[in-house]
Amino acid sequence: MKRIRTNARVAAFLALCLFFILAQRRSWAEDDFGNIVHHIELQYHVHRNYRFLMAFAGVVVKCSSFTGVKGFKAAIFENQHLFASEPDSGIDAVIQAAGKSGWQPLIKSYSRRTGEHNYIYAQSGGKDIKLLIVSVEPSEAVVMQVKINPNKLSEFINEHSDESAHRAAVSIAADNPIR
């Protein structure tokens, strides 16, 4: 009987320790994609369109990685009133906070005429590259995160480019001259 109580106490203690470790390391569960989407939803009081379709697309991409794309997350806010004339500076702060997580800014653009904000960030993770793409306009927004294997992507592009098809056609024509 004492042995069962001791085992139960040890199991409870380990479960409690695991809970506290995971609670302290909650940042690993939060990603910058989720933070940006959450900010847009809260700040502009809008909801994502095509949520289940984007989740399905992410599963399909994860299952078929022949093109070099290993992961895909997307949130689309379409035909919604995000901001009237002056966008908030909070979106800049949230996206720039992604830089603290290891994201390197590649492109940042802002159009005064249309009010469009565009950001592209990259992060290297071993053999793979992750891209975080954010585009915010007055009536729509797109947030996308893609994980890419550059070697497989390069092979896929070379295999399906017009130049390689042209080379194949030239080699076939050289092998079979017209008489």
Q: Is the dihedral of CA 82, 88, 92, 93 positive or negative?
A: negative
Average pLDDT estimate for 72-88: 78
Quick: pLDDT tens for 141-179: 899 999 998 888 888 788 877 665 556 555 655 555 554
Q: Is the pLDDT of residue 75 over 90?
A: yes
Q: Residue 12 has what pLDDT?
A: 54
Q: Residue 165 has what pLDDT?
A: 56
> What is the SS3 assignment for the chain?
CHHHHHHHHHHHHHHHHHHHHHHHCHHHCCCHHHHHHHHHHHHHCCCCECHHHHHHHHHHHHHCCCCCEEEEEEEEECCCCCCCCCCCCHHHHHHHHHHHHCCEEEEEEECCCCCCEEEEEEEEECCEEEEEEEEECCCCEEEEEEEECHHHHHHHHHHHCHHHHHHHHHHHHHHCCCC
- Band (pLDDT 50/70/90 cuts) for residue 5 is low
Q: Give Cα 80 distance to the centre of its chain.
A: 22
Higher per-residue confidence, 28 vs 3: 3
